[in-house]
Amino acid sequence: MNKKCRLVTLSSVGFSLMLSGSIFAHGGEHAGLTEQINTDYKVHLAPLFKHFHQNPELSTVENKTADRMAKELRDAGFDVTENVGGTGVVAILENGDGPLVSMRADMDGLPVEEKSGLPYASTAKQVDPITGNDVFVMHACGHDVHITSLVGTARRMQAMKDEWSGTLMLIVQPAEERVLGAKAMMDDGLYERFGTPDFGLAFHVSSGLEAGKIAVTDGSPYAGADTVDIIIHGVGAHGASPHAGKDPIVLGSQIVLALQTLVSRELPPRDPGVVTVGSFHSGTKHNIISDRAVLQLTVRNTSKATRKVLLDGIKRIAENMGRVAGLPDDKLPEVIVSNESVPPTNNNPELAQRLRALWIKEMGEEIISKKPNKGMGAEDYPFFTTEPYIPSVYFGVGGTPEADFKSAKAGGAPIPSHHSPLFKITPEPAVKTGVEATVHALLELLPSSKITKNN
């Protein structure tokens, strides 16, 4: 299914366009696109967003959301396969020779009780598959914007079939919030079954960006993450006889402080990394020296090299602090790195530059947000693009009106963060910008073979 036709380069398309004077020439040729998206939003996407917002579902049990997405994408003329990696949905539109390009949208909500005050706020509840408790559910990360936009993109790409050539793969991903879904879809043979994309795209709506704007970095919008446990084996004793034991709380404290030198003294200052000890548990009572302490860490990186420095350093510090405390080799602190590691989301720099230039050309200079689109949060999207390596761009789409930022700056209500019960997105500009930016990018990456053939 993967038609490897990478011969149609951007410059060759541009050259042949000049020769033919084709109406498909880039730069304003999709002038009607904004109006078509406006109409689609009013008629179809606005009620669809409201439906998704009021019917959020938790990670891995997004059953009704997946059903609705499958129906919407089938109605848009795509070939749809359900239950890929759990509740995942894959929609394919084959449209002649050309590259295969994927666009991913994640669809899960969060166990949060919505307190946004919106008239269409969620009151939905669901049994949490982790705890078994009946909990409130909310689209507190804006994934409802992602899936609504994906439907908008599907409808536009179907309507504009004459203007592109190749294969479009839309990925509706479950369980992003538990960083499970992307890997589950890959483990279910996503690329073996549907083809390996030549390019990958994804976006996240952001409450920290002005609505109607796009943020795109040439680097890494999201960090890689590792979960690490350090088990400290002490020797228990009476609290009044510390010399008779090996105090794991004192040793654990020394380890916590020594870990602070990893980022500050061992990483090159321009290479970001984070080592956070989020939990430190030991002991039962005032006058007992415990025989065990457990530290729980999250470790963030933006490259394999940084990851190695941090993980090797944690092991070296933990074990050697154990030696400093006089522990024998078979009692040194154990460092356990969970296999639930997430690689960093790394944009392909050339592709990011190409799309930024395209968006400026098609949507205007002011479309690109001045705010940097990078942080040390983690995403599971890179499971789609790391092995095999697929040049990809993960961009940000604004979700908060500029007036709200101004009022927050002037001492008004602060902008609620993602995952907050107060979280809210202004859906209209976010969905429309998401669709328009995605459609422009897809038309760029899936150039029409008819244009070159006509010459």
Selected range binding Zn ion among 20-28, 35-43, 135-143, 341-349, rule: CB under 5 A: 135-143
Question: Which residue, 105 or 141, has its beta carbon nearer to Zn ion?
Answer: 141
Q: In Å, how far are 3, 33, 208, 311, 399 from 418, measured between CA atoms? A: 39, 30, 9, 29, 11
Amino acid at residue number 449: S
- The yes or no reply on residue 141 touching Zn ion (CB under 5 A) is yes
Could you give the CA distance from residue 392 to residue 196 in angstroms, rounded to a whole number?
A: 13
CA distance 280 to 333: 14
Minimum gap (Å) between residue 119 Cβ and Zn ion: 23
Characterize 143-175 residue by residue with b for buried, 16 or more Cβ atoms within 10 angstroms of its Cβ, and e for exposed: bbbbbbbbbbbbbbbbebeebbbbbbbbbbbbb
Query: Of the candidates 147, 141, 154, which has an alpha carbon nearest to the alpha carbon of residue 37?
Result: 154
CB of 246 to Zn ion, least distance (A): 41
Q: Which is nearer to Zn ion, 217 or 420 (CB)?
A: 420
> Could you identify the residue written with the tokens 């002011």?
366
Measured from the CB of residue 108, what is the shortest distance to Zn ion in angstroms? 8
Closest by CA to 94, choosing from 165, 170, 195, 197, is: 165
d(CA 320, CA 251): 11
Catalytic, 226? Answer no
Residue number with the smallest Cβ distance to Zn ion: 141
In whole angstroms, the minimum distance from the beta carbon of 24 to Zn ion comes to 35
Q: Which is nearer to Zn ion, 164 or 394 (CB)?
A: 394
The answer to the question of residue 105 lying near Zn ion (CB under 5 A) is no
Segment lying near Zn ion (by CB under 5 A), choices 81-89, 134-142, 159-167, 342-350: 134-142
CB of 377 to Zn ion, least distance (A): 8
For Zn ion, the closer of residues 66 and 141 by Cβ is: 141
| Count of residues near Zn ion by CB under 5 A | 1
Long-range contacts of 305-308, Cβ-Cβ distance < 8 Å, separation of 24 or more: 305/271, 306/267, 306/271, 306/272, 306/273, 307/224, 307/226
Residue placing its CB nearer to Zn ion in the complex, 107 or 390: 107
Q: Which stretch binds Zn ion (CB under 5 A): 80-88, 141-149, 239-247, 296-304?
A: 141-149
Does the annotation mark 106 as catalytic? Answer: yes
Question: Residue 155 in contact with residue 76, Cβ under 8 Å?
Answer: yes
Options 40, 62, 72, 106, the catalytic residue: 106
CA distance 413 to 115: 14
Shortest Å distance, C-beta 140 to Zn ion: 7
Complex with Zn ion: residue 141 or 352, whichever CB lies closer: 141
Stretch that binds Zn ion, among 64-72, 112-120, 136-144, 408-416 (CB under 5 A): 136-144
Distances in Å between the Cα of 297 and the Cα atoms of 15, 36, 344, 352, 425 are 54, 49, 17, 32, 31
- Note whether 147 binds Zn ion by CB under 5 A: no
Binding to Zn ion, residues 381-440 (CB under 5 A): none
> To the nearest whole angstrom, how small is the minimum distance from the Cβ of residue 141 to Zn ion?
3
Catalytic residue among 57, 163, 177, 319: 177
d(CA 245, CA 185): 50
CB of 148 or CB of 290, closer to Zn ion:
148
Interacting stretch for Zn ion, rule CB under 5 A, among 97-105, 138-146, 285-293, 295-303?
138-146
Query: Parallel, antiparallel, or unpaired for β 288-289 and 79-84?
Result: unpaired
* Alpha carbons 327 and 321: distance in angstroms, whole number: 9
Rounded-to-integer distance, Cα 279 and Cα 46, Å: 43
Residues near Zn ion, by CB under 5 A: 141
Instruction: Give catalytic residues, as residue numbers.
Output: 106, 177
